Chains A and B, each alone.
Chain A
Amino acid sequence: MSRKQLALVIDLNVCVGCQACVTSCKEWNSAGAAGPMSDQRPYGADPSGTFFNRVQTFEVGEFPHTETVHFPKSCLHCEDPPCVPVCPTGASYKREEDGIVLVDSDKCIGCKYCSWACPYGARELDEHQKVMKKCTLCVDRLYDPLLPVADRKPACVKACPTSARIFGDIHDPLSEASIAIREHGGYALMPEWGTQPANHYLPRRKTRLRIHADELVRADNPLAVEGHLPRPAEGSSTLEDASF
């Protein structure tokens, strides 16, 4: 647990499905180190294109007990990434220093085998460049000394208007990401495959006020008019008799 593992923690409780992370990812990475992210027939009848990040929408439950879950989906930067060992050229690799899974687009032969080996469908073959593309966690922003420190984080994180995307080192127990996972029930997707995704998701959380029936009537209302006590009988001892 010594090595750094950068990751995103995505809070499904506050994601509103606005797609701002999708467009800012596309904008930054089209011009970034991993670009271009080409589009085919963008204004045609059958448009297609390369994206690193998507926001999907799921409906949980049956009407009227339904809930809409907006679900941002990108590469999870698995700690045991199944896409890396299958790559025949070594183009797919996981960085030792920060755990980011990357594709060297100069070595990739476009055989698509890594995409078969990813259960999450996080990799896309770019139709223009004919090489595999995937989320880079904006590695070209993270270490850029020309950017203000506040901007050295993934474009999607910068774009999120509800702060649903938390970025950090999940191996550092004191990072914001680690604390969010620990304290808000962060979970991994498809844990059944043992890929140990670095990205975590925070569940939808309901804040419910539990009111018991007896709490609806105040037993100790200071404003309640108290009943009159019966007057003491004539000649009976009073407090004054005892104290003097």
Chain B
Amino acid sequence: MNPAFSVILLTTLIGAGQGLFLALVTVQSYAVFGLLPAAAGGALYVPGSLSALLLLVAGLGASFFHLGRPERAWRSAAMWRTSWLSREVIVLPVFMAVVALYLVLQLAGGDSELLLTSGGRSITLSLAIGALGTLLAFALFVCTGMIYACLRFLAEWSTPLTPLNFTLMGGASGFTVAAALAAGLEPALVPFLAGWALVLTLLAGIGRLASLVRNARLKPRSTLQTAIGVKHPQVVQRSMGFMGGSFNTREFFHHARPATLRAVKPVFLLLAFVLPLGLLAAGRAEFQAAAMLASAAVVQGLGLVAERWFFFAQARHPQNLYYQAVS
């Protein structure tokens, strides 16, 4: 497929936004249940949820550049019964509204208590909103991943690893951003957040490697023989029917040289997973934490953009069988 930067930015930015929000709610629930000091996260919630919201807004904004008719985008909520894209279009704004509500609650400060458990834990409104946002964040990861995973003839995408990796990579980048924010705002939380970011980055790297191994072993189900229905081992296209370009020759090829494709793979593995692991470990060990964690977030962000480019470029669409020879 031809990677579109609008979709690359949409999926990476909202993934990081979701992950960042999950990181905040994780800190809050750990604090409520006494696994972190009760006051933990106080300096983080407002800038954190604001950053998450900004990432989501930026991702949503990027998605409009993918549309031919962005002014009709509101129509895309109609077919939620059948279309994962429609489901994503519904879940994303609802999730953004919940993040915004969470931000307002944190800004207002007066967090009302909903109930007091027998163990003396205070379940506040913002925690309940955070829990709802957590559900929505996971739902959004599933929707985004399933947009690609549900296309059964795009074999590289059609695997449960796709939504799983979207979740893990979004979570990893979000926790890394959270750790970087904590380094500036609340250094006491750095070991906790950087630790989770390390775990998620490691899991995301394993998941992505698993999908790379899987994709390397794929054998295309469609061949030129099934495409035109001629049973002969040797079939070659002599003419695609036109000499100029068309939508079919633009949209479904990555237009990069094979060498570029080969080069991007180690680059994204290095930038998205290997380097951030080292930087996060250094940050967690409180060695230049702010600089290390900030560069981890930037490097991982760039790496995930490269990863997403590769994700699209690697998918081989069966329609390309019909567009192999000009003349």
Given the known interface contacts A58-B224, A116-B154, A121-B248, the answer about A190 and B318 at a Cβ–Cβ threshold of 8 Å is yes
- Across the interface, B85 reaches (CB within 8 A) one of A82, A88, A118, namely A88
User: How long is the Cα–Cα vector from A87 to B239 in the complex, in angstroms?
Assistant: 31
> Whole-angstrom distance from the CB of A30 to the nearest CB of chain B?
16
Q: Determine the chain B residues whose CB is within 8 A of the CB of A118 once the complex forms.
A: 319
For the complex formed, measure the closest distance between the CB of A164 and the CB atoms of chain B, giving whole angstroms.
15
Q: Which residues of A contact B252 (CB under 8 A)?
A: 121
**Binary flags per residue of A201-239, CB closer than 8 Å to B gives 1, else 0:** 101100000000000000000000000000000000000
Within 8 A of B (CB), among A68-82: 68-69, 71, 73, 82
Which residues of chain B have C-beta atoms less than 8 A from A161's C-beta? Answer: none
**Complex Cα–Cα for A173 and B298 (A):** 64
A48 and B322 form a contact (CB under 8 A): no
Binds A, one of B15-23, B40-48, B75-83, B96-104: B75-83
CB-CB under 8 A from A54, the residues of chain B are: 240-242
- In the complex, what distance in Å separates the CA atom of A85 from the CA atom of B1? 20
Q: Are B82 and A86 in contact (CB under 8 A)?
A: yes
Q: Is the CB of B318 within 8 A of A56?
A: no
| B78→A111 contact, CB < 8 A | no
Contact with A along B41-79 (1 / 0, CB 8 A): 000000000000000000000000011111011011111
Chain A, interface size category, equals 35 or more
Residue of B nearest to A120 (CB): B319
The answer to the question of A11 belonging to the interface, with a C-beta cut-off of 8 Å to chain B, is no
* A residues in contact with B150, CB < 8 Å: 86
A214 → B minimal CB distance (Å): 33
- Min C-beta distance of B85 to chain A, whole Å: 4
A58 cross-chain contacts in B, Cβ below 8 A = 224, 228, 230, 235-238
Complex: A112 Cα to B72 Cα, angstroms: 14
Total contacts A-B at CB 8 Å: 173
Q: Which residue of A lies closest to B73 (CB)?
A: A109
Complex partner residue of A189 from B73, B227, B240, CB under 8 angstroms: B227
Contacting chain B: which of A59-67, A136-144, A152-160? A59-67
Nearest CB of A to B66, in Å: 6
Instruction: State whether the Cβ of A16 lies closer than 8 Å to any Cβ in chain B.
Output: no
Give complex CA distance A55, B89 in Å: 38
Would you give the shortest CB distance from A198 to chain B, in whole angstroms? 15
The residues of B that contact A203 with a CB separation of less than 8 Å are 229-230
8 Å CB contact of B151 from A87, A116, A191: A116
Interface size class of B (residues with CB under 8 A): 35 or more
The residues of A that contact B227 with a CB separation of less than 8 Å are 189-190
Distance to closest chain A CB from B87 (angstroms)? 9
Interface residue? B106 (CB, 8 A) = no
Question: Are B78 and A89 neighbours in the complex by a CB distance under 8 Å?
Answer: yes
Pair B76/A61 contact, Cβ less than 8 Å: no
Judge whether A181 is part of the interface by a CB distance below 8 angstroms: no
Contact B237 A192 (CB under 8 A): no
Closest to B84 in A: A86
Task: List which A14-57 residues lie within 8 A (CB) of chain B.
Answer: 19, 22, 46-51, 54-57
B262 at the binding interface (Cβ < 8 Å): no
For A190, what are the chain B residues with a Cβ–Cβ distance below 8 Å?
222, 226-227, 318
Say yes or no: B317 contacts A56, CB within 8 Å: no
- Cβ contact of B230, chosen from A22, A69, A130, cutoff 8 A: A69
Assess the B68–A110 pair: CB atoms within 8 A.
Answer: yes
State whether the Cβ of B119 lies closer than 8 Å to any Cβ in chain A.
no
A113 contacts which chain B residues (CB < 8 A)?
A: 83, 85, 147
> Can you name the residue of chain A whose Cβ is closest to the Cβ of B222?
A190
Q: How far is A120 from B66 in the complex, measured between Cα atoms in Å?
A: 22
Q: List A contacts of B85 (CB < 8 A).
A: 86, 88, 111, 113
Bound-state Cα–Cα, A91 to B79, Å? 10
B69 with A130: CB separation less than 8 A? yes
Known: A88-B83, A115-B247, A119-B153. A109 touches B69 (CB 8 A): yes
Asked, given contacts A68-B238, A88-B76, whether A115 binds B82 with beta carbons under 8 Å apart, the answer is no
B interface, CB within 8 angstroms of A: 1, 66-70, 72-73, 75-79, 82-86, 89, 147, 150-154, 221-222, 224, 226-230, 232, 234-242, 244-248, 251-252, 317-320, 322-323
17 contacting pairs across A/B (C-beta < 8 A): A22-B241, A50-B247, A51-B246, A55-B241, A56-B241, A60-B232, A61-B234, A71-B228, A85-B82, A88-B77, A88-B86, A109-B73, A109-B76, A112-B251, A129-B68, A130-B68, A193-B318
Which 8 A/B pairs are nearest by Cβ-Cβ distance? A110-B68, A121-B319, A130-B68, A54-B241, A85-B82, A88-B76, A47-B244, A88-B86
For the complex with contacts A113-B147, A189-B226, A192-B222, 17 further pairs of A-B residues with Cβ separation under 8 Å are: A46-B244, A48-B246, A56-B241, A56-B322, A58-B224, A60-B230, A86-B151, A87-B79, A87-B83, A88-B75, A88-B86, A89-B79, A110-B67, A119-B317, A120-B319, A121-B319, A121-B320
